[in-house]
Structure 1
Amino acid sequence: MEILRYAAFSADPAGGNPAGVVLDATGLSDAEMQRMAAEVGYSETAFLVPGGDRQFKVRYFSPKAEVPFCGHATIASAAAYAERHGPGVLHLDTRAGLVEVSTTVQAGGTTTATLISVEPQTKPVSASDLAALLGALRWTLDDLDATLPPRIAFAGAWHPIVAAGSRHRLANLDYDMAALTSLMSQRDWTTIDLVYRESALVFHARNPFPPGGVVEDPATGAAAAALGGYLRELGLVAPPATVTVHQGQDMGRPSLLTIEIPAQSGTGIAVTGAAVALS
């Protein structure tokens, strides 16, 4: 069974977030998918089972556990399919719900994909959970941006969104892996979306992912979609709006994610990025 390897949210193989892709995982058991994802070693591997014309059931596995939805592996899967069967729209049946992803090929040959998330949700984070989260991050309340309140956000997976008050604070990431892993596992949080707002529509992000056995993701499409829903619900942008997220710079794997936030409440968030095959 062929396992493809793509970097998502970058046109450069040295950037973006690597993902494994199996375009036909028919017959694989959960244990086999988990084993293969661990062997690949990327933050996620997507396993697609064809179910009709450009329709697939999709499962996403990190090296340690299954996750309900993964944005960068979705972008990678769409690019891998487009390069073999042509660009267009794919319909994905994920554990989080139905996700549409479309691909185009740019003039220079780069494949770009856009996913439309499930309906986003946002909920408060309790004072005790925020204290535990900041303690595990080794942050304090003084490190936060008071204009971007902490929330738990969802667009396929749950992510706490915590905004740093400075780019320096975001760059200085040194968290307690055991404590953060335990808290995230108890609360069913997939990654922690740490952000810094450079300007009204430009953000920088970092995403610890210790429950998956990954210190940090260089690009996180699910968290970007959740961020889009958060910004709309809290009135922190004036939709329709296009938000740019820079991620992976502090890891040496720069990534670029574009978020399109529709004006209508409850509609899915579009996340776009390039993808490139890894040798």
Structure 2
Amino acid sequence: MTSEIAQAPVHQENPSPGVTVLRLDRPQRRNALDTQTLELLGTGLAAAARRGDAAVVITGGNDFFSSGGDVASMPGPDDGVLAPASRLTLVHDLVTSMVRADQVIIGAVERYALGAAWGIVLACDLVVAGEDAYFKAPFAARGLTADAGTAYHLPRRLGQQRAAAHLFLGEPLTARDARAAGLITETTAPGQATARAVELATTLAAGPTQSNAITKSLLAQDRADLAQFLANERTAMALAGHGPNAHEGRSAFLERREPRFS
């Protein structure tokens, strides 16, 4: 049985009992994460929880995962003190739901996962990536602080120095290196990540779903302080969003040029 949210940026599919696939579908915006997309991802996770599914696959399809937050739709400093961080409420709700869900969340990444999209991938329990995929946190180039819990997960998994290179310098991380560092579960041939993720989800659905949920809750103890970190992140984003760096970063992105920070 398959159901879809018609003409929406996220399609919800149920390829087999106990498995939900949430597929990003904004190809014209490279699956950028706007308000509606984030809301529908949250709705899809909630629906999977109500059904008691075993696993949820989050994918951008076979072309790319996501270019990150939709800069063009983000509120600016003129919209209020907390406006630059308002989108983070939805991002944080999504990340928190993923970590706390009984379902095993599997990310399927092709080509790239950038910025907030990488943060979402880092919140997954398992990740399958095409062997030519890469991950990048270009927040500094936008004059912003890291969001979606990226600055929470990367130092804990990569160490302070390697994390700093990604967060300050925007260095990309290849799928091969991500696997070697323990950030992803496995790689596949390009274009096969979603199919493989669905295979894993189907295996989980046929397995001991209740004990897997308990195991996930034990693993989540390593992220017990995530909620406080996200609250601090929201404040940091509000502050950074009102500075001249953020204004120049946003302008440069929309004008398709390199930023000129003063």
Instruction: Specify if TM > 0.5.
Output: no
**Which structure has greater strand proportion?**
1
TM-score w.r.t. the length of structure 2 is: 0.29
**Which structure has greater helix proportion?**
2
TM-score w.r.t. the length of structure 1 is: 0.28
